[in-house]
Amino acid sequence: TKETCEWSSSSINIVDSTTFFDGVIFTNLGDGALKIGNKGLVTLKDSVSFYGNNPIDTNGNKKSIARNIICQGVPGGLAQLLANTSSFKEVNGEVSKNKWILADKDYCIISGSLNNEKTLLFTPEIQSITAKGNKDKTGIDVELKGKSLFKCGKLFLLVSLKSQSALNDDITSKEYPLEDVAQTWDDEETVLATILEDDLVKKGVKLSVSVRTETKDGSHQDAEIIGGGKNIVDVEGFGKGGLTTTVLIIIIVVVVVVVLVIVIVLIIVCVYCMHKRSQAEKAESNYQAAGSSNAIESNNWDNTEQPKKKEHSSKHHHKHGKKSSKKHKKEKEM
């Protein structure tokens, strides 16, 4: 069964009478503090305080919801409450945005600054909202973060068609009770929900999702935001197979990185090739220089050896001449 955060019991019941409360503190009344019924009229002075009236769960722990006042008349016997917002506080003494008042919009009359409140039970506040196509592309995953996100049947997700080309008979928006689509809701600060594909939620259609809350008169309005947050967002990643902006950015980054790597590798290869070529040219130049040097040395060697041979030949002829002349002299003497 869904939680509604409603209750019917109380510690004090005012019926068919007029009552003033001054300097009274209503606290630790988990079954409910005050109930105003048929023809009951209650005035709360500013010195009155309500806080810590939380019901107890089965484990003996206080629940996060509270039970302050029931204002519920009957036809012909209205219930009336005169009070200011400052009487409803947190345990630390600060004024609470959550009043925890069940007020019948038809048979309860509220006056004082309390009447200016749009929500009398609790006031959800949204910090952020995201909406993306789920992994299987069967619907939209929505994540809410904020404060006072109670399971009381008062929160709704409004999906709206962004395109203005819809025909008159086409659905342009649809509300989903948060309890019906919530997948994870373990506390009052974070809710994960999934809205499955239907007659409005379709792949390729531009949609937005916003958070709505039920007011004291039963109408729905945009939930309050806190900390510069937002309560509406465009749906991403729910196209007909096209690439999302995020995927495109990732692809572009990868391509740029790959191109840079290729360019760097080419530069390194070119530098290496130029270096090797320079070394080869230097080696060839050294080789040619060495060859020229050897040729010069060889020529020098030949030039120095040739005269010695001639000198040897002349000496040989000279000696041979001497021998011939000696022989010639001996022949004459004989």
Q: Answer whether residue 230 shows pLDDT above 90.
A: yes
DSSP letter for 116, please: G
Q: Answer whether residue 247 shows pLDDT above 90.
A: no
**Which range (156-165, 167-176, 200-209) has the least confidence?**
167-176
pLDDT-based confidence at residue 329 (cuts at 50, 70, 90): very low
**Which range (113-122, 138-147, 295-304) has the least confidence?**
295-304
Residue 328 main-chain phi, psi, to 5 deg: -65, -40
Torsion of CA 113, 118, 121, 127, to 10 degrees: -120
Q: What pLDDT, on a 0 to 100 scale, did the predictor assign at position 109?
A: 97
The two three-digit tokens of residue 130, written as one number = 């995201």
The answer to whether the Cα torsion of 78, 84, 85, 91 is positive or negative is negative
Q: What pLDDT, on a 0 to 100 scale, did the predictor assign at position 279?
A: 79
DSSP letter for 139, please: E
SS3 146: strand
Q: What pLDDT, on a 0 to 100 scale, did the predictor assign at position 286?
A: 73
Q: What pLDDT, on a 0 to 100 scale, did the predictor assign at position 13?
A: 97
Digit-coded pLDDT (tens) for 257-281:
999 999 999 999 888 888 888 877 7
Q: Which domains does the chain have, with CATH numbers?
A: 12-116 (no CATH), 125-245 (2.60.40.10)
Average of per-residue pLDDT across 64-84 = 97
For the entire predicted model, the pTM comes to 0.69
Digit-coded pLDDT (tens) for 125-136:
999 999 999 988
Contact by Cβ (8 Å): 125, 97: yes
Residue ranges of E strands in the chain: 12-14, 18-21, 25-27, 34-36, 41-44, 49-51, 69-71, 79-82, 101-103, 108-111, 125-133, 139-147, 155-161, 173-177, 182-184, 190-196, 207-214, 220-222, 224-225, 232-234
Location of structure tokens 């840079």: 260
pLDDT-based confidence at residue 297 (cuts at 50, 70, 90): low
